[in-house]
Chain A
Amino acid sequence: MPTPVSNARACLAAEAAAALDGAVSVALRRAHAQTTSLHVVYALLLSSSSSYPSPAAGRGADGGSRAPCSILLGDALSRARSSVYSPRLQFKALELCFGVALNRLPSSSSNRQAVEEGGGGDEPPVSNSLMAAIKRSQAIQRRNPETLYLYQQQQTPGGGGASSFSGVKVELQQLLLAILDDPVVSRAFGDAGFCSTDIKLAILGPPPPILRFPRAARSSPLFLSNFSAGDGFETVLTSRELVFPFPTATAQLCSDGGGENCRRIGEILARKSSGRNPMLVGVGAGEAARDFAQVVERQNWAVLPPELHGIKLVSIEKEVAELSTGGCDQLAVGIRLEEMGKKAESPGAILNIGDLKRAVEGCAECNDKESCLVSEVTRLLEVHHGRLWVMGWSATYETYMKFLSKHPMLDKDWGLQLLPITSVRTGMGRSLTRPSSLMESFVPLGGFFPTAYESKGIFSSVYSSVFRYDDCNDKCEQEVSLTLSVDGQQNANLPFWLHKANMVSLNDGSYAAKAKDDQTVLNAKIMDLQKKWNDNSQCLHHGCQKTNTDDCAAVACTMNPSYISNMERACSWNGENPDDDQRPRGHGIPYPISVGTQKIIMAGKRNSLPSVLEPENEDLSLKLQVRPSKGEQLQREFFQSHQGDEHASPSSVTSVMTDLVLGTLHEPLCNEENFVWQEQKYHLEDLSGCLPSMSADMIRKFGPDVAVESSSDEKSTQPLVLTHSFSQVSNDCASAYNKSSLISSNTRHKFDLSNYKSLCSSLINKVCQQEEAAIAATQAIVHCKTGERRRGASLRGDVWLSFRGPDKIGKKRVAMALAETIYGIKENFVSIDLSYQDCVAHPRSICNQQDAIGNGLQCRGKMNADHIATELSKKLGSVVFLENVDKADLLVQNSLSQAIRTGKFPDSHGRELGINDAIFILTSSGTQGQNFSRRKDHSSFSEENILAASCWQMKIFLEPSPETAKLSFASTQKPRNNQVYEHSVFVSKRKLDISDDLMSAKRAQTTSNVFLDLNLPVEDVEGHKDHSKSENSAAWMEDFLGLVDATVDFKPIDFDAFADSILKDINKIFLSNVGSDCVLEIEQKAMEEILAAAWSLEDRGALNNWFEQVLVRSLTELRCRYNLSSTHNILRLVACKDTFAQEHAPGVLLPSRIIIE
């Protein structure tokens, strides 16, 4: 069915529609029933034929008014024609051939009648073949990403699928390409000696030689996808010139992006909506503007969208520049603008106002002229809407903002679209002119490159128009000169590069060099000015920013919605693609590939675990039968232990057996376990007879409760039992289990009681302050190790404790003591601080120092989860002490959650480590401890401050003070300090005046340097921690701590009492060395430093050494120097917060000497 002309016209852009109208009128005149592709071509030929014998004259005569469509086809034909015949002859032949072809078409009787009657009949409808061509070009154009946004803008929101497709306006170029595929048309061309493929190629390009590199074909598709295999010449064209850019100078042009910039400018100009006037911003903007001017002057239309072909460019750059200096009279500008108005007919003209900097710089009196000019341009833009563009450029954003501030709302009035230009043409690439050695250096890929050369030979025949560039150049030059003469009667008004273009032949090699020189000069100027404006107009741009964003925002909005529907399909497809082994898995599973694979495998294993277990259920149920009675006993025992007289504990042998049975259960499942199990068996056979001399290693292997500290009489009974059970085990696991559990239940009491007692006592020996916590921790561990615990489907030997409350050091000390007591040696202790931040915040604090050094070296280039895994793998049976669990990163959180649930700790690569023998102790500085620390608010020392105390340099100096002063000062002290005062040594909260300011400044810095942005107010960054993260973490913490076996509460340390006892020691030393005449006042910070050192030490020995060696030495030196015996003096011990001690005293993190002033 033929389509009505109006429907077909709706699918076409202006030029193409004009071509169709021409075709319709031809069809009408000939009284044809339908309008076909032949009519379209014939109409185009007719409109261009008159000019062909003398194209230059033709163009000169009607200038911009001539239909651009005929230029497009005419140009293409002139380039594609065979050189054998004269042009005139060939064009005549072409007209003839099409005329003949048209004559063959059937005519419509009704139309013929109408024509004969002299009236205009009905428009002959569009034939199916022509409509198909239109559809084809529509589809091709839709696929082209560069024009895609146009169509999306045209789509009415909610317009439905059908209308969205019809929104594509076919450009003439695409229409011609599609029509050339029509067999009728190509036959007619063939009759006249043309090859339609050649014509296609000519329509797509190629531009004149100098400008051919940037953007050979405007419609070059994204990844060549919008041309079918039949249109392969496009690929050929690309590969032939551009695939291997090095050996020629083309690379230089190629990588500077000049053509790309022009194309983008063209894109903006071709927009149908607002914001179609480009404003180039960026260091390369001036260059880009010049490139664009060249493109337009040389009519290198291939770079520009088809609807812009034939466009004119008028520059008033010079006038604008003269406005600022006051040298230009307004009249001249007015004349130029009038000209503009005349030129602004089809297809339109661009007014180039040039560099905004000149406009902005103008003096006060030329502001009037300038705003006059601006309003005149605004008026013109309104009058010639759609046919007049304005463009300008600015090297910096600031200049543009300044311009806008002078002319508010101008970006709206003019419909400006900012276009960032970031590529700068440089002198780079000189080295490329020498022959490339790259190919030799990279042999494996060498095969890529020769093809580029080979193709040249093959396609040179197809691409014969290359050799006819001279013709084009001639035409170009003619046109340029014509444009010049039309544009301005006087050359003086033209930009300087136009003069050059006029004088220098386009083919002249030196032209490029000269242009380059100009550019460098220009660049230098731009840089200078840019700098200037950076300084000047920073204050302006915040206010103005808002106004210009709306445009961009609108565009962004219109682009989005239609894509969203595609998302799902794109995603699912992405997941299905079988070719790439990375994607399918990565899509489904929220882990990176390598991790993902292993995860799947491991998960599979885990899932199969319950079913494998089933055959062994007999064993388990047996065991379960035994347990209940034991559980009762345990409860009783713990009740007793709480009362404090008798520390009872269940069997260690049972727990050994638990481990062994676990081993058997896992044996068929996991090789790793199997290995451990076999090792155990091996050891068992070897050592079953000599248990008392068991190595520490063995003890670790076989469970924590076989303590080294067991008293000798227990040891005598122990071997008997164990030997028996172990030998049984080595023979037959199942039976051994049954028997040994019976045996152990008999002997358990005696053995465990003292073991537990010794555990507790050794713990309490090691932790002087947190006895209750230590006992609670021991109980929890013993309970876990003896109790029957099941997490999920498997029996577990790992223990998870949470230590909460204050006393960071105490918690660690208890954990270390546990490690030493349970595993026998101190080394089975892994301590990791999960908060990276703390190390950074207080890098040199005394309490953190040991950790920071250790962590820092090991963590380098490593994730925390991997660090833990590495440490764990080194010591499978150990106490793992994790500090600041609430600060754990996501990966560690995941690993920990998995570990506590499954008994296997995964590292970041998904490798899992069995943790059956480990005891995890978790601490956090989070909310749990808060109620504890609050209780001691009145204390003069807070744990925070002491934790933050660093190894500052200390100094001691004499403050001669009369009796009265001393008394009054003493009376202001707290009563507790008065008491200390009697001992002649006391702590002062008074800060020294001299260091006060310094200190507060210092503190401000240390708090903010966590965020390292000194320019932001501290509360800004600190105040707005994202809630979602902390919420997530908090939720995880709650979850995680809910799974823990036991929670142990720690009491806050009484630092006051601690300080008192230290002061007593100092007092003793002071009295014996200085005498009672003097008073030693220890400043708060110094005391905190000493406290921190004392706190982090296991015993006071090293501290006392420090008192004796460092403090006493300085005191005696001081006494010698000032002869202190005479009067009452106050000596002050002060910490210098701004300097860190160079050397530490041996064994304690305190300065090795005290400065005496």
Chain B
Amino acid sequence: MGFGSSDDTTTKGRKLLEILNVRMVGAGCRVLVLSHGFGTDQSAWNRVLPYFLRDYRVVLYDLVCAGSVNPDHFEFHRYTTLDAYVDDLLAVLDALGVDRCYFVGHSVSAMIGILAAIRRPLLFLKLILVGASPRFLNDGDYHGGFEREETEEVFAAMEANYEAWVRGFAPLAVGADVPAAVREFSRTLFNMRPDISLFVSRTVFNSDLRGVLGLVQAPCVVIQTANDVSVPPSVAAYLKAHLGGRTTLELLHDEGHLPHLSAPASFVHVLHRALTTTQ
């Protein structure tokens, strides 16, 4: 009767670990999950990763929308909401046997982390949200940074000529004048299949986490750069005010939406502090 039951789960877990290129590296005992944002893949953490290998077991994975994942696995009807990404994250952590972890999420992964922490409060010791926003669109008093018309224009541009859009968007997002970072971000952004890229952008812009921020119980650290094209400073303040757990705001002096690419040294410093400060 009981044949193969654990095999099935293992197979499933293995399959997912394989599909999402999950890696677990490092010698520490605490688990640190690094989750990349839109337009990048796990390689975005390469410059940050070495700093945490001694003290943490670091889990790296790709979101299913990343260019490094076989696009066949991106099921359009499944990934219509961020919840499906949360499923993936939780399944990965379960498959790895992680029962508590520190989570670092950038951009869309910050949203995913928030949702995951709501669903599984005990799993997350702390959330570190980089370039995070609960809602990208403006809405009454809430200033998310984008008008709907603007986003439509962006989508139209993406549709019209993806490559040209990437060339224009990457330096804008990186913000700081760090050519290596721009190159790197362009590469990973262009790796995404354009239809997936557009689809994910829509999903992200359609998401609104403002109503559920209070459900988060894990302590959070919001890392916000001085000038982020996607996230105005008021959003970081909004997060701090509304996240349910104890929340700290860390301001980076560097610019751009991808501090882990453009200013790794100072980012690592702040991240270290964020991880180690007990609240």
Q: Which residues of A contact B (CB under 8 A)?
A: 139, 142-143, 145, 148, 160-166, 213-216, 220, 222-225, 238, 242-246, 251, 254-261, 264, 281-285, 394-398, 401, 418, 420-431, 436-438, 441-442, 445, 448-449, 527-528, 530-531, 534, 541, 545, 549, 552-553, 555-557, 559-560, 562-571, 573-574, 577, 580, 582-583, 586-587, 589-592, 594-595, 836-837, 840, 859-864, 889-891, 894, 908, 1011-1013, 1015-1016, 1020-1021, 1024-1026, 1028-1029, 1032
A1028 and B80 form a contact (CB under 8 A): no
CA distance A161 to B10 in the complex (A): 14
9 A-B residue pairs with Cβ-Cβ distance under 8 Å, sorted by A, are A143-B11, A161-B2, A423-B203, A530-B211, A577-B18, A589-B25, A592-B46, A837-B269, A1013-B250
Question: Chain A binding site: helix, strand, loop or mixed by DSSP?
Answer: helix
**Contacts A565-B6, A1012-B249: A244 and B195 contacting too (C-beta < 8 A)?**
yes
A422 and B212 form a contact (CB under 8 A): yes
CA distance A891 to B273 in the complex (A): 16
Residues of A within 8 A of B147 (CB): none
Residues of A within 8 A of B6 (CB): 161, 164, 562, 565-566
- CB of B272, distance to nearest CB on chain A (Å): 7
Q: Which of A162, A534, A587 interacts with B23 by CB under 8 Å?
A: A587
Question: Chain B binding site: helix, strand, loop or mixed by DSSP?
Answer: helix
A527 and B14 form a contact (CB under 8 A): no
Q: Which of A220, A223, A441, A595 interacts with B15 by CB under 8 Å?
A: A223
A1024 and B277 form a contact (CB under 8 A): yes
Residues of A within 8 A of B244 (CB): 397, 541, 545
Residues of A within 8 A of B208 (CB): 282-284, 422-424
Residues of B within 8 A of A437 (CB): 159-160
CA distance A562 to B207 in the complex (A): 32
CA distance A260 to B76 in the complex (A): 11
B26 and A423 form a contact (CB under 8 A): no
**Contacts A552-B121, A1024-B277, A1029-B272: A527 and B203 contacting too (C-beta < 8 A)?**
no
CA distance A431 to B178 in the complex (A): 34
Interface assignment of B168: CB less than 8 Å from any CB of chain A:
no
A591 and B23 form a contact (CB under 8 A): no
Across the two chains, which residue of chain A brings its CB closest to B120? A556
> What would 6 more interface pairs be, CB under 8 Å, given A438-B162, A441-B161, A1024-B277?
A285-B211, A431-B152, A530-B211, A586-B25, A894-B50, A1012-B250
CA distance A238 to B77 in the complex (A): 8
CA distance A261 to B277 in the complex (A): 37
Residues of A within 8 A of B230 (CB): none
- CB of A400, distance to nearest CB on chain B (Å): 9
A162 and B77 form a contact (CB under 8 A): no
A257 and B203 form a contact (CB under 8 A): yes
Interface assignment of B173: CB less than 8 Å from any CB of chain A:
no
Q: Within residues 186 to 242 of chain B, which ones have a CB less than 8 A from any CB in chain A?
A: 193-195, 198-199, 202-203, 205-215, 217, 240, 242
A560 and B94 form a contact (CB under 8 A): yes
CA distance A861 to B264 in the complex (A): 6
**Contacts A587-B23, A590-B27, A591-B50: A862 and B121 contacting too (C-beta < 8 A)?**
no
CA distance A438 to B176 in the complex (A): 30
A165 and B55 form a contact (CB under 8 A): no
Contact with A along B159-171 (1 / 0, CB 8 A): 1111100000000
B94 and A425 form a contact (CB under 8 A): no
Residues of A within 8 A of B17 (CB): 570, 573-574
Contact with A along B84-126 (1 / 0, CB 8 A): 1001000100111101000000000001000100111111000
CA distance A894 to B53 in the complex (A): 11
Across the two chains, which residue of chain B brings its CB closest to A595? B50
CA distance A428 to B203 in the complex (A): 10
Residues of B within 8 A of A431 (CB): 152, 155-156, 159
B96 and A570 form a contact (CB under 8 A): yes
Q: Which of A139, A242, A256, A894 interacts with B8 by CB under 8 Å?
A: A139
Residues of A within 8 A of B276 (CB): 1025-1026, 1028-1029
Residues of A within 8 A of B172 (CB): none
Shortest 8 CB-CB distances between A and B: which pairs?
A: A567-B97, A1026-B276, A162-B2, A397-B214, A257-B81, A257-B80, A861-B178, A165-B5
- CB of A212, distance to nearest CB on chain B (Å): 10
CA distance A1075 to B95 in the complex (A): 84
B1, B16, B253 interface centre (most CB from chain A within 10 Å): B1
Residues of B within 8 A of A587 (CB): 23-25
Q: How many A-B residue pairs have CB under 8 A?
A: 358
CA distance A426 to B76 in the complex (A): 18
Q: Within residues 1 to 51 of chain B, which ones have a CB less than 8 A from any CB in chain A?
A: 1-6, 8-19, 21-27, 46-47, 49-51
CA distance A586 to B276 in the complex (A): 25
A220 and B265 form a contact (CB under 8 A): no
A889 and B46 form a contact (CB under 8 A): no
Interface assignment of B262: CB less than 8 Å from any CB of chain A:
yes
Contact with A along B39-82 (1 / 0, CB 8 A): 00000001101111111000000000000000101011110111
Residues of B within 8 A of A840 (CB): 253
A401 and B214 form a contact (CB under 8 A): yes
- CB of A210, distance to nearest CB on chain B (Å): 15
- CB of A849, distance to nearest CB on chain B (Å): 17
Q: Which of A398, A423, A559, A590 interacts with B80 by CB under 8 Å?
A: A423
- CB of A1005, distance to nearest CB on chain B (Å): 14
Residues of B within 8 A of A216 (CB): 77
CA distance A573 to B11 in the complex (A): 11
Residues of B within 8 A of A531 (CB): 140-141
Q: Which of B52, B77, B118, B141 interacts with A242 by CB under 8 Å?
A: B77
- CB of B20, distance to nearest CB on chain A (Å): 10
B203 and A563 form a contact (CB under 8 A): no
**Contacts A426-B148, A545-B217, A552-B119: A583 and B159 contacting too (C-beta < 8 A)?**
no
CA distance A449 to B196 in the complex (A): 12
- CB of A520, distance to nearest CB on chain B (Å): 11
B194 and A423 form a contact (CB under 8 A): no
Residues of A within 8 A of B158 (CB): 438
Residues of B within 8 A of A238 (CB): 75, 77
A890 and B52 form a contact (CB under 8 A): yes
Residues of A within 8 A of B51 (CB): 889-891
CA distance A258 to B262 in the complex (A): 37
Q: Which of B12, B14, B141 interacts with A222 by CB under 8 Å?
A: B12
CA distance A894 to B49 in the complex (A): 13
A441 and B194 form a contact (CB under 8 A): yes
CA distance A528 to B162 in the complex (A): 37
A162, A423, A586 interface centre (most CB from chain B within 10 Å): A423
CA distance A397 to B264 in the complex (A): 36
CA distance A559 to B91 in the complex (A): 10
A283 and B159 form a contact (CB under 8 A): no
CA distance A697 to B174 in the complex (A): 42
- CB of B53, distance to nearest CB on chain A (Å): 4
B78 and A220 form a contact (CB under 8 A): yes
**Contacts A242-B76, A256-B206: A569 and B10 contacting too (C-beta < 8 A)?**
yes
CA distance A889 to B279 in the complex (A): 22
Residues of B within 8 A of A148 (CB): 9
B5 and A161 form a contact (CB under 8 A): yes
Q: Which of A281, A425, A1026 interacts with B212 by CB under 8 Å?
A: A281
A264 and B10 form a contact (CB under 8 A): no
Residues of B within 8 A of A595 (CB): 50
**Contacts A165-B2, A566-B10: A220 and B77 contacting too (C-beta < 8 A)?**
yes
